[in-house]
Structure 1
Amino acid sequence: MPETKQKKPAAPKKPAATAESKLAKLGLRTDMDLVLHLPMRYEDETEVLTIREACMRGGEVSQVEGVVTSNEIAYKPRRQLLVHIADETGDIQLRFMNFYGSQVKQLAEGTRVRARGEVRHGFFGAEMVHPAYKIVNEGAPLPTSLTPVYPSGEGLSQLVLRRAIADAMKRVDWTDTLPPEVLKTMRLHPLETAVRTLHYPPPQIDENALIDRTHPAWTRVKFDELLAQQLSLKRAQRARRAKGAAKLGKVGTLSSAFEASLPFKLTKAQQRVLKEIREDIKQPYPMQRLLQGDVGSGKTIVAALSAAQAIDSGYQAALMAPTEILADQHFRKIAAWLEPLGVKVAWLTGSLKKKEKEAAYALVESGAAQLVIGTHAIIQDTVQFAKLGLVIVDEQHRFGVGQRLTLRNKGNGDNVPHQLMMSATPIPRTLAMTYYADLEVSVIDELPPGRTPIVTAVVDQNRRDEVIARVHAAALEGRQAYWVCPLIEESEALQLQTATETYETLAAALPDLRVGLVHGRLKPAEKAEVMDAFAAGDIHVLVATTVIEVGVDVPNSSLMVIEHAERFGLSQLHQLRGRVGRGSAASVCLLLYQSPLGPVAKQRLMTMRETTDGFEIARRDLEIRGPGEFLGSRQSGQAMLRFADLETDGWLVDQARDVAHALLHEATPANKATVEAHLERWLGGREEFLKV
């Protein structure tokens, strides 16, 4: 008897996502989450115009009401639904390019419709394209406030969001978390009044102030958000100070001999910053200091002098850099300074051979290596320090939160190492006050003497031959040049191909010069070989990807060409430009661009041409790109400020900082309760993300 084929059981259908799960995807899990999910814009549905009035106002968004007189699906020039509605003054066409079968039935002849959209005058008369609409009964009441439009997610309608928020508003505890004296001094609205105004603004409200977020209701919400952030960061700072740290109080023979051996004198800014760090690491609680300074301001020597104090005090120091090229630059420079003075400096990166790694591990664990320099290989579990007292993290925004925490946890017992974080991307004041409120900030705001200003020119790609001639002329004068290839984020392989092609083109165009190539795919030994040859002057032109962005210091290089400069961010362009201008020769940076330029790219290139001041560039970068560029992965897992804008609300940051300080400084039971309630309302379980 033939076998009958068994039918495979149908795969079980996935349960449809509930409204709760859709809300949870947006991070809306509690009533307070919903209440603080504020509108991104508003629609005015408080007024209905006659169709004739709306048509006379052509080009404006208007709301009309009428009865459907015809409904048809047309196929020219493409499939579309055409619906005509009329009132006693005239008629108008509603046109839908994308529609469902249910809409055709819903908008049947005789149905009363209220539609809102921009009125256009086309070949077939007045029309609205894809208007918002609802089916209504004759005499249906109009809303009495502006209609909020909320940030939403897939499958989550505005109607569902509005209902969920309205329900949450009835259940939530509206007790104000701000002390009455703060409300009075700052003339702030009560929170409930402010939030209700933003969800249900009355028709007579100043709509412009609502949209540009300058209305007093917005001010209250922004202040509360900033205060929560300040309280959380400052409380984290206090918690860190409660932990123990080694007192690195000895500025001894090594520090003195090191400073005396330097062939240059520290600038006043370097001396000031070094004094701040030295005072910090003498304390019995861990230093958490951010050292920022423009490209070439001399942060490395300050870091090395800080490490010398740790070594003088009988402890080890570690310096971690994000790339092998940068770590290698630090190692060569600092080892040349300290090893002649009897300091053992260990080198540790992922590319070391097994035997070399094991030898380095043994030096670190025994304490024979007083200073360890390397990449994230330093934080591997296999690396055990004998007595780690100071951790230095260069280009700190390029490391993840977890990586920096792991290095900090390499201390012994209850002692946490002091931590110095360095950044060559100057951070605007408001950003530092907001996102780095838990750190002490030191700024080297002075360049060493003898540096020549860099002239920056913006050049169209069509003049590429002239640029090659400029490179040739510089080489004949005994100078060296960088040629940086375009950033191609979507494909590392394509970026490598571009770099290789550029190298071949330049080698062919400049047969009497030595052209070198360095990129991220080269083995560390090959990279080091090329960089050594360039530093020694054996290579005239170095073709490179952005691996040379930081740390490369060749004083004889005086010309930088950045190809497709419009693809780079401002801080990257500034970092790349900082590779030249390190000697006494006049230096030039040429920004090659492909026209036409978009408005943002044009703004960036104009900024680079106008100023070499890193802090001014950082300020403009904040305007263009927002805070993410500066923070890197510091805020990993935690959203940026949702309501406050650091460019326009800097004055509120100052106020929030002062109120946070007062609440934490005077630790009365009432103040403690206020702090807890405010943080619970605004951060809930997310406070942990701010503590690193």
Structure 2
Amino acid sequence: MARTPATRPPSAQSASADTQAASKASAKASAPQLAMARLGLVRDIDLALHLPLRYEDETAITPLRQARDGQTVQVEGVVSENRVEMRGRRQLLVKLDDGTGELQLRFLNFYGSQQKAWAPGVRLRVRGELRVGFFGREMVHPTVRTVSDATPLATSLTPIYPAGAGLPQSYLRKAVEAGLRRAPLDEVLPSAVAAMLPAHWPSLRQALQQLHFPAPDASIEGLSEHSHPAWQRLQFEELLAQQLSRLQAKAERAHLQAPVLPLRTGGLHEKLLGVLPFELTGAQRRVCEEIAIDLARPQPMHRLLQGDVGSGKTVVAALSAAIAMEAGWQCALMAPTEILAEQHFRKLVGWLEPLGVKVAWLTGSLKPKAKREQLAAVASGEAQLVVGTHAVIQDQVEFARLGLALIDEQHRFGVAQRLQLRRKLEATDLEPHLLMMSATPIPRTLAMTYLADLEVSTIDELPPGRTPIVTKVFADTRREEVIERIRDEVAKGRQVYWVCPLIDETEATDEAADVAAGRNSNKRPPLDLSNVTHTHIELSDALPGFGVGLLHGRLPAAEKAEVMDRFSRGELSVLVATTVIEVGVDVPNASLMVIEHAERFGLSQLHQLRGRVGRGAVASVCVLLYASPLSDSGKQRLRAMAETTDGFEISRRDLDIRGPGEFMGSRQSGAALLRFANVGDLAEDGGEGQAMLARVQQAAAVMLKHHPAAAQRHIHRWLGQKAEYLKA
């Protein structure tokens, strides 16, 4: 079989060398080779690990007299007739006779060359769904091969691979077969780890051979549900690589030095506790103690603070910062959006400036003079606490003594941004402590595997006085009923959010163009979406005498701040917005949240938006408006929202729907870090799933302690450069 230069750089070379080789070959590469490069299929191991989406059975021929309506079958026969007809549009009709019956093949899109190639007397092998109708047995657009009496049948199930434009399945199959044959798939696991695996699991090479070319009698169900022993071997190997990389990163950090930040009696921490207008919950006190213990150690803290929407993570961050500032060190708090960063800034200024703490503000929208003043305050150490967006990690920002970095909604930052922050922190002699925060609670099993290098603190208790939120799911045909409910709420002096997914029609147009051009296969064709501008006009007309505000990401920063101020002060009764209000907005008087086209939002995002209400003593409602038809995942998300307000249950279902790569934000690296193993499925899989995760953790411990070289080879095989993403 011919070897294609774009798919066979030496496997022993580094990932960077692979990239250079692909770059040099790209100028002369064919369209399929370029398409493979876009899929990351550069090394032989990449091809070997590019597994089928599904399989087709081309190992048998079904006589037409035995074929049933609705059955997908492979039939072989001789063309008896071939003609083009006009039935509303030009159609190519080919009649096939296999000796036991006749079959009509219908092609709505065809070339003249196909009509010539499938002339009467030619033998064809076709595969497709058989339908019995007015014209007898028929297949529409089946797969067709011209064959002879001596053409052999396939000896294994035919794989159908993930592919892109310009990459035919036949080309990809040949490339994968060649890559699998050449890939270095020798056994890396030491004998002590191999002995932990079930005896019926195949070796890695055998597993890949079975998955790419399964025998005709292989269990299609086991293959599609990833319960086949070959799949289990791959899942184990991938999870092991991730666990090894995480634990390795944790061990490396143990050798780094960080400033010792002790909790001092009578210091800023106690003063802040004394001026807070509320008592801490038991969960808040517990996580504060966990963080204080970490800060007092000479090794850098690497901790995730997780808690449901409204559980009080900001005050925990403020108390942690108070410990660092009392010890004479600076703190930085970075948030993903300017609105969230400003909410933090206002709260922290209100709590800390009366205690003599200087808080700096850094965002991309600052005027040059104001930015220079803030940068100077940070560089001199005058600013003890710096709050801002990604502007905090820009090159011109220099800290005098950075001791603690706080990242809110850490999964909302791209992996590259989180790595950039780490590099900025590592530029100092001492590694600052790092506290990441997330309002998307992470299930315990996922935390044990996906976050093996992190300590996790959980606020599992909401502050007292919070009223439960009732969630209602309505079709968008009931829009007028929802507007009537809004009239009732604002007439009682309460406030309402209305969230839309798009700003204006150009976004829908741009999305349609992307879909048509195939630039983003994850996007669905655009719907006839209402947008914030039209909804703002509609609600303004429907609610005369009440203020209706408009907020979206394209507004100037000053205008956004003014709108939020007016809504917070109660001057606006309704706020029509995009998801810029997803996190950080706290208006206790808001009692109704309407989310339009809720089916287009992720489950975590819906939960975050719902958390903007229910912050006061008034009973609150969240209305999810959806447009038909709903996808299966859309139905699952809306059902989950209606059935529970528990953030941990929401996160568990979100993990089931999306998988761990997207759930943790790792797909922002450009590739999912877990391709084959779904931790959520394993966690739910009773004894077998739990046994797999326990086996992974045990094997990782053995390899790191007794076989570090084998551990490194295993990490490189499975993760390559992506291992760096796991440190972010």
Letter in 2 for 1:248: L
Counterpart-to-counterpart distance in 1, 2:549 and 2:447? 39
Counterpart-to-counterpart distance in 2, 1:282 and 1:595? 55
* Residue 46 of structure 1: how far off its partner (Å): 2.0
Contact 1:243 1:414 in 2 (8 A): no
Within-5 A mapping of 1:261-280: 261-280=275-294
Equivalent residue, structure 2, for 1:637: 670
Equivalent residue, structure 2, for 1:452: 467
Counterpart-to-counterpart distance in 2, 1:96 and 1:507? 53
2:159 counterpart (145, 148, 154): 148
Is 1:568 the counterpart of 2:606? The answer is: no
Equivalent residue, structure 2, for 1:648: 681
Contact 2:257 2:300 in 1 (8 A): yes
Contact 1:319 1:373 in 2 (8 A): yes
Equivalent residue, structure 2, for 1:209: 222
Within-5 A mapping of 1:334-349: 334-349=348-363
Structure 2 CA distance for partners of 1:148 and 1:468, relative to 1, 3 Å: closer
CA displacement, residues 97-117 of structure 1 (integer Å, 9 cap, x when unaligned): 333343333323333322222
* Residue 303 of structure 1: how far off its partner (Å): 0.3
Within-5 A mapping of 1:55-66: 57-66=68-77
Contact 2:258 2:433 in 1 (8 A): yes
Letter in 2 for 1:191: L
Counterpart-to-counterpart distance in 2, 1:468 and 1:59? 46
Counterpart-to-counterpart distance in 2, 1:516 and 1:151? 45
Unaligned runs of 5+ in 1: 1-13
Contact 1:226 1:656 in 2 (8 A): no
What secondary structure does 2:549 align onto? Answer: strand
Contact 1:227 1:660 in 2 (8 A): yes
2:80 counterpart (69, 90, 101): 69
Contact 2:415 2:725 in 1 (8 A): no
Letter in 2 for 1:638: A
Letter in 2 for 1:526: E
Is 1:281 the counterpart of 2:262? The answer is: no
Structure 2 CA distance for partners of 1:106 and 1:453, relative to 1, 3 Å: same
* Residue 414 of structure 1: how far off its partner (Å): 2.8
User: Which range moves more in the overlay, 308-317 or 188-197?
Assistant: 188-197
Contact 1:194 1:221 in 2 (8 A): yes
* Residue 84 of structure 1: how far off its partner (Å): 2.7
Equivalent residue, structure 1, for 2:642: 609
CA displacement, residues 620-670 of structure 1 (integer Å, 9 cap, x when unaligned): 223334445533366413334222233323367755665555455456786
Structure 2 CA distance for partners of 1:656 and 1:305, relative to 1, 3 Å: farther
Counterpart-to-counterpart distance in 2, 1:602 and 1:167? 42
Contact 1:183 1:189 in 2 (8 A): no
Is 1:437 the counterpart of 2:427? The answer is: no
Counterpart-to-counterpart distance in 2, 1:354 and 1:78? 63
Equivalent residue, structure 2, for 1:228: 241
* Residue 305 of structure 1: how far off its partner (Å): 0.5
* Residue 19 of structure 1: how far off its partner (Å): 5.8
* Residue 394 of structure 1: how far off its partner (Å): 1.1
TM-score normalised by length of structure 1: 0.89
CA displacement, residues 4-48 of structure 1 (integer Å, 9 cap, x when unaligned): xxxxxxxxxx95617655543332222222222222222222222
Is 1:24 the counterpart of 2:57? The answer is: no
Contact 1:663 1:672 in 2 (8 A): no
1:189 counterpart (202, 207, 214): 202
* Residue 360 of structure 1: how far off its partner (Å): 1.3
Contact 1:45 1:63 in 2 (8 A): yes
User: Which range moves more in the overlay, 141-150 or 417-426?
Assistant: 141-150
Equivalent residue, structure 1, for 2:125: 114
2:612 counterpart (538, 555, 579): 579
1:379 counterpart (393, 417, 420): 393
Within-5 A mapping of 1:461-480: 461-480=476-495
CA displacement, residues 131-177 of structure 1 (integer Å, 9 cap, x when unaligned): 22323332443333222222233343333333333333433344222
Contact 1:408 1:417 in 2 (8 A): no
User: Which range moves more in the overlay, 62-71 or 268-277?
Assistant: 62-71
Counterpart-to-counterpart distance in 2, 1:144 and 1:463? 56
What secondary structure does 1:391 align onto? Answer: strand
Within-5 A mapping of 1:351-500: 351-411=365-425, 413-487=428-502, 491=506, 498-500=531-533
Structure 2 CA distance for partners of 1:111 and 1:428, relative to 1, 3 Å: same
What secondary structure does 1:170 align onto? Answer: helix
Equivalent residue, structure 1, for 2:720: 684
Contact 1:635 1:689 in 2 (8 A): no
Letter in 1 for 2:641: M
Letter in 1 for 2:558: A
Is 1:300 the counterpart of 2:314? The answer is: yes
Give aligned pairs, total: 677
Structure 2 CA distance for partners of 1:144 and 1:565, relative to 1, 3 Å: closer
Equivalent residue, structure 1, for 2:17: none
Structure 2 CA distance for partners of 1:524 and 1:497, relative to 1, 3 Å: farther
Contact 1:112 1:135 in 2 (8 A): yes
Equivalent residue, structure 2, for 1:10: none
Is 1:129 the counterpart of 2:129? The answer is: no
Contact 2:32 2:168 in 1 (8 A): no
Counterpart-to-counterpart distance in 1, 2:667 and 2:39? 22
User: Which range moves more in the overlay, 330-339 or 112-121?
Assistant: 112-121
Is 1:239 the counterpart of 2:257? The answer is: no
Contact 1:460 1:593 in 2 (8 A): yes
Counterpart-to-counterpart distance in 2, 1:117 and 1:97? 15
* Residue 302 of structure 1: how far off its partner (Å): 0.4
Contact 2:502 2:530 in 1 (8 A): no
User: Which range moves more in the overlay, 241-250 or 663-672?
Assistant: 663-672
Counterpart-to-counterpart distance in 1, 2:31 and 2:591? 62
Equivalent residue, structure 2, for 1:520: 553
Contact 1:64 1:114 in 2 (8 A): yes
What secondary structure does 1:649 align onto? Answer: helix
What secondary structure does 2:498 align onto? Answer: strand
Counterpart-to-counterpart distance in 1, 2:433 and 2:220? 51
Equivalent residue, structure 2, for 1:555: 588
What secondary structure does 1:185 align onto? Answer: coil
* Residue 501 of structure 1: how far off its partner (Å): 4.0
Counterpart-to-counterpart distance in 2, 1:114 and 1:466? 58
Counterpart-to-counterpart distance in 2, 1:392 and 1:668? 30
Is 1:95 the counterpart of 2:109? The answer is: no
Contact 2:662 2:672 in 1 (8 A): no
Unaligned runs of 5+ in 2: 1-26, 510-527
1:81 counterpart (74, 78, 92): 92
Equivalent residue, structure 2, for 1:3: none
Structure 2 CA distance for partners of 1:117 and 1:660, relative to 1, 3 Å: closer
Is 1:311 the counterpart of 2:325? The answer is: yes
Is 1:40 the counterpart of 2:76? The answer is: no
* Residue 443 of structure 1: how far off its partner (Å): 1.4
Letter in 2 for 1:176: E
What secondary structure does 1:63 align onto? Answer: strand
Counterpart-to-counterpart distance in 2, 1:227 and 1:635? 22
Contact 1:227 1:657 in 2 (8 A): no
Structure 2 CA distance for partners of 1:409 and 1:565, relative to 1, 3 Å: same
Counterpart-to-counterpart distance in 1, 2:539 and 2:120? 72
Structure 2 CA distance for partners of 1:538 and 1:613, relative to 1, 3 Å: same
TM-score normalised by length of structure 2: 0.85
What secondary structure does 2:669 align onto? Answer: coil
Contact 2:81 2:120 in 1 (8 A): yes
Letter in 1 for 2:355: L
Counterpart-to-counterpart distance in 2, 1:490 and 1:232? 45
Letter in 2 for 1:203: P
